[in-house]
Structure 1
Amino acid sequence: MAALVGLRACFSALQLSSPGLLHSSYKLCAVPFTRRNFAAEAKAKKTYARDKPHVNIGTIGHVDHGKTTLTAAITKVLAEAGGARYKKYEDIDNAPEEKARGITINASHVEYTTANRHYAHTDCPGHADYVKLDGCILVVAATDGQMPQTREHLLLARQIGVEHVVVFVNKADAVEDKEMLELVELEIRELLTEFGYDGENTPVVIGSALCALENKQPDLGVNAVLKLLEIVDEYVPLPKRELEKPFLLPIEGVYSIPGRGTVVTGTLERGVIKKGDDCEFVGHNRAFKSVVTGIEMFHQSLDRAEAGDNLGALVRGLKREDIRRGMVMSKPGSIQPHQKVQAQVYVLSKEEGGRHKPFVSNFMPVMFSLTWDMACRVHLAGDKDMVMPGEDTSLTLTLRQPMILEKGQRFTLRDGNKTIGTGLVTDILTTTEEDQHNWG
């Protein structure tokens, strides 16, 4: 497992100043990208001021432990402190199937600023969202403690490389026994240690997102949320962005804006994009060029987007159906798709939510990386007959069709609805005629 992660030393928990001092230091901004964001003329848009470093954060944890409620509470607390509107629970949890089941299925995004940073906050990130997180908030209900998805989400964060986690023990207002709260905290610290985090020093905040929303029990409500935000500000380090490399934007969404053109959205993986730049779209057996004619982030226009930015880019001369999620927008000629790689893979054990049985050559899981997913065929090394759950091993993986793959790129493997492994590309291999024949 250690071979995949490349661990850096964890930060020690920091001493906190009074959260009350933060009331005048926060303000809330915008909400998820929609097709209407680009509809207004550029002159009507505010210009994004890059006066604070940008950090991507997310809330993870078991279903119904309060991830979306906490996200809503953060926006409400910051809105009251800064005089801006907040994003209600039902606005974050807004898809029809989500409302019907009472759980969030697709990730939603909110934006806010602190005294020192600008944040893009992803609520309930999907597999593709984990890759772009600089840190995360693990939400654990005090009434339940750790549950299966607590382990699954934390392990996925660890394997994909999210190295800094802050814990929010939610629903503390529903627990009268303080010893129960202490037990939940101890249990979570042990889990963090088990998955390679600094469990002893990881910050843990005990509170109630619902109390913050309803302005009840301030020590568990508003003050706890402010304390959480202060900890995130201090504990999650500023990420090192690769600004000097050619730009790479994995495409998350594509929108057609009447009167404006086609907009692609995503989080810039590396490099810098400027208005007027030539670009190339690659992936899904296609490659074609265009020009970036406009850039926006959270409803505000930019002349220049940097690595880590969650942006929408207006591109010239393309239709919505020309571009698909999973493609990348890149500097022309800077990147090529590949079909076959050597990778170091950790196969999750049964206890970690993985497979119960071993697998052999020609096993066909689905690989998830960047924003794409693609069926792949596994080939074991010559001296291996099978790979056991819990094993760390080298595998050859051949995709059904070429996609963007580079040395050092992280990915996950899934079988049905289950994550079965996480890996790191160690080498790019040449596809043979036999490989092509195997896919028919």
Structure 2
Amino acid sequence: MSKAKGLREQDLATLDPAKLTPLSPEVISRQATINIGTIGHVAHGKSTVVKAITGVQTCPTCERPSCYRTYSSSKEDSPACEFCGGPMDLIRHVSFVDCPGHDILMATMLNGAAVMDGALLLIAANESCPQPQTSEHLAAVEIMRLKDIIILQNKIDLVTEATAQNQHEAIQKFIQGTIADGAPVVPISAQLKYNVDVVAEYIVKKIPVPVRDFVSPPQMIVIRSFDVNKPGSEVDELKGGVAGGSILQGVLRMGQEVEVRPGIITKDAEGRVRCLPIYSRIVGLFTESNALQYAVPGGLIGVGLTVDPTLTRADRLVGQVLGEVGRLPEVFSELEINFFLLRRLLGVRSKEGEKQSKVTKLSKGEVLMLNIGSMCTGARVLAVKHDLAKLQLTTPVCTKEGEKVALSRRVEKHWRLIGWGQIQKGLKMDLPPRPED
């Protein structure tokens, strides 16, 4: 495989995970080490802002904020500055998780939030604040323990200065007492790329690179999976399935044997759910256009596997966990959680258009939707006592005690966020032993 111009070499023979950091040249040169989500209401400019920001470099000799420039992941490490001609330093390599703002895609947004290290909250300057999904997305990232948020007051070119100032005050009132209280508010035009250099500076200075665990057994949560083969391909040209996601801990290596849990989920003749973990080998590691010899926690990674591509087609592996054989968390069919409910539904206006609907208590027998990591599954409430609930899962989940759970309830034909919980314990499933090769 050819390597992109100017990227640092990776050598499996000399790899020592204990000596790596997210800013090691052979890491940051090739892959993103931080995931930043773009969140907010539909059509407020999330995708446009991602288009405007595709990496972060800085020129030490230029004045701020014009010393910050953004490029794609395949850019060489030290391009010449377009202003002074001096060499630029690579200081951040970012993956963007672009979350849908439409209310019916809330579950997809929660799956994306599972891998975020920080977030850009988009608020359109030409609409009142907050819009329904602005509130709902902010509550979701609060549940996911996301602290580092930058607010982008987008479409500033479409309003007068007085309107922008009034909305700025409305934004400050909206975020008061939330996880975003005190977050910077940057006026931008994503379409015109106005103030993109300021956003780049805030990403570098306000969203720290998280502490990463490079030495534990590798685990990656899958948020995409697909079949890269074109229809009509010859048998000898077929490639194995691809899983995409973010590594939570450890280092994945080319040629490594891996396991995917829960794997293939079936029901036996009596209707009991069975899980058959998938065993495979890594034959490709990549991020955007950069090929990797090894991948570390942080940005979004593509993993080429030897598995039958029908197993990965159309996101079939989303929500599963990939990692070292025999070292993955347990698979649960029932969970016991302690939970906290929101007082009112977010993102829903009552018929009068005034107050939002009150969240009622959980009731035995009702069906909820759970988001655990990148897994989205239905759950029937078996029992409720005070702030504890026992839940029977529609689909088994690979997870562990202490993990956060987002709870949603069906309201007027849409799943709505109603609260969150933490896993206390659960009913573990017996998995069959690995078959002999």
Which amino acid is 1:308 matched to?
A: G
Mapped contact 2:131–2:347 kept (Cα < 8 A): no
Match of 2:340 in 1: 346
Q: What 5-or-longer segments of structure 1 have no aligned partner? A: 1-41, 87-112, 213-220, 385-392, 433-440
Query: How far off its partner does 1:343 sit?
Result: 1.6
Deviation of the 1:160 alpha carbon: 1.2
Matched residue of 2:402: which SS? Answer: coil
Confirm or deny that 1:169 pairs with 2:166. Answer: no
Q: 1:350 to 1:161 in 2, by over 3 A?
A: same
- Check whether the contact 1:293–1:314 (CA below 8 A) recurs between aligned residues: yes
Q: SS of the residue aligned with 2:216?
A: coil
The whole-number CA distance in structure 2 between the counterparts of 1:177 and 1:261 is: 55
Q: What is the letter of the counterpart of residue 50 of structure 1?
A: V
* CA drift at 1:150: 0.8
Kindly report which structure 2 residues correspond to 1:283-294, keeping only aligned pairs within 5 A, or say none.
Answer: 283=262, 284=265, 285-294=275-284
SS at match of 1:244: coil
Q: 1:69 touches 1:209 (CA, 8 Å); kept in 2? A: yes
**Among 132, 147, 164, the residue aligned to 2:115:** 132
Partner-residue secondary structure (3-state), 1:341: strand
Counterpart residue number, 2:20: none
Tell me, what secondary structure is at the counterpart of 1:189? helix
Give the match for residue 171 of structure 2: 188
SS where residue 126 of structure 2 aligns? coil
2:427 is aligned with what amino acid? T
Residue 309, structure 1, aligned to residue 272, structure 2:
no
- The DSSP-based 3-state class of the residue aligned with 1:238 is coil
Structure 2 counterparts to residues 27-66 of structure 1, below 5 A? 42-43=1-2, 49-51=26-28, 54-66=33-45
The amino acid of 1:159's aligned partner reads I
Structure 2: gaps of 5 or more residues = 9-25, 58-65, 74-87, 101-108, 230-236, 266-274, 349-356, 430-437
Query: For the structure 1 residues 64 and 273, does the alpha-carbon distance in structure 2 shift closer, same or farther, using more than 3 Å as the test?
Result: same
- The residue aligned with 2:311 is 322
Q: 2:187 aligns with which of 203, 206, 210?
A: 206
SS at match of 1:150: helix
TM-score (norm 1): 0.70
Indicate yes or no: 2:259 matched with 1:255: no
Correspondence for 1:375 among 368, 375, 378: 378
Taking only the aligned residue pairs, the percentage that are identical comes to 22
Q: Counterpart of 2:191 in 1: which secondary structure?
A: helix
In structure 2, what residue type is equivalent to 1:191? Answer: F
Is 1:229–2:200 an aligned residue pair?
yes
2:261 pairs with 1:282: yes
Q: Which amino acid aligns with 2:308?
A: K
- Provide the rounded CA distance (Å) in 2 between the counterparts of 1:54 and 1:431: 33
CA contact (8 A) 2:285 2:303 kept: yes
Q: Deviation at 1:309?
A: 3.2
Displacement of 1:148 after TM fit? 0.9
Q: Secondary structure at the match of 2:425?
A: strand
Residues 1:237 and 1:83: Cα distance change in structure 2 (over 3 Å): closer
Alpha carbons of structure 1 residues 353 and 240: separation in structure 2 relative to 1, 3 Å? same
Whole-angstrom distance in 1 between the partners of 2:159 and 2:292: 47
Contact 2:125 2:153 in 1 (8 A): yes
- Going from structure 1 to structure 2, the CA distance change for 1:187 and 1:118 (only over 3 Å counts) comes to same
For the pair 1:426 / 2:423, whether they are aligned, the reply is: yes
Please state how far the C-alpha of 1:256 moved relative to its aligned partner.
Answer: 4.0
Match of 1:360 in 2: 363
CA offset at residue 146 of structure 1? 1.9
Paired amino acid for 1:237:
P
The offset of 1:43, in angstroms, is 4.2
Partners of 1:320 and 1:424 in 2: CA distance: 35
Task: State the one-letter code of the partner of 1:172.
Answer: I
Q: Is the 8 A contact 2:338 2:424 kept in 1?
A: no
Change (3 A) 1:280 1:378: same
Question: Residues 244 and 369 from structure 1, CA distance in 2 versus in 1: closer, same or farther, beyond 3 angstroms?
Answer: same
Cα separation, 2, equivalents of 1:54 and 1:360:
42
Q: Please say if residues 413 and 421 of structure 1, whose CA atoms lie closer than 8 Å, have aligned partners that are also in contact.
A: yes
**Which structure shows the higher helix fraction?**
1
Residues 108-130 of structure 1 deviation map (CA, whole Å, 9 limit, x = unaligned) = xxxxx984110111222522111
When residues 116 and 263 of structure 1 are mapped into structure 2, their CA distance, relative to the original with a 3 A threshold, is same
In structure 2, what is the Cα distance between the partners aligned to 1:153 and 1:83? 26
Q: Quick one: structure 1 residues 191 and 394, their matched pair in 2 at CA, closer, same or farther if it must change by over 3 Å?
A: farther
CA distance in 2, matches of 1:154, 1:374: 22
User: Deviation string for 1:355-376 (max 9, x for gaps)?
Assistant: 6433311211121222222211
Map of 2:85 onto structure 1: none
Contact 1:268 1:306 in 2 (8 A): yes
The two structures have a TM-score, normalised by structure 2, of: 0.71
Kindly provide the amino acid, as one letter, of the partner of residue 58 in structure 1. Answer: G
1: CA distance, partners of 2:89 / 2:418: 36
CA gap of 1:85–1:301, structure 2 versus 1, over 3 A, is closer
Match of 1:331 in 2: 324
Aligned in 2, Cα 1:77/1:175: closer, same or farther, shift over 3 Å? Answer: farther
Matching of residue 118 in structure 1 with residue 93 in structure 2: yes
Distance 1:114 1:141 in 2: 32
* Match of residue 406, structure 2, among 395, 408, 412: 412
CA distance in 2, matches of 1:362, 1:398: 10
Amino acid across the alignment from 1:202: A
RMSD between aligned residues: 3.0
Are 2:256 and 1:269 equivalent residues in the alignment? no
Secondary structure at the residue paired with 2:392? strand
Letter in 1 for 2:202: I
1:296 corresponds to which residue?
286
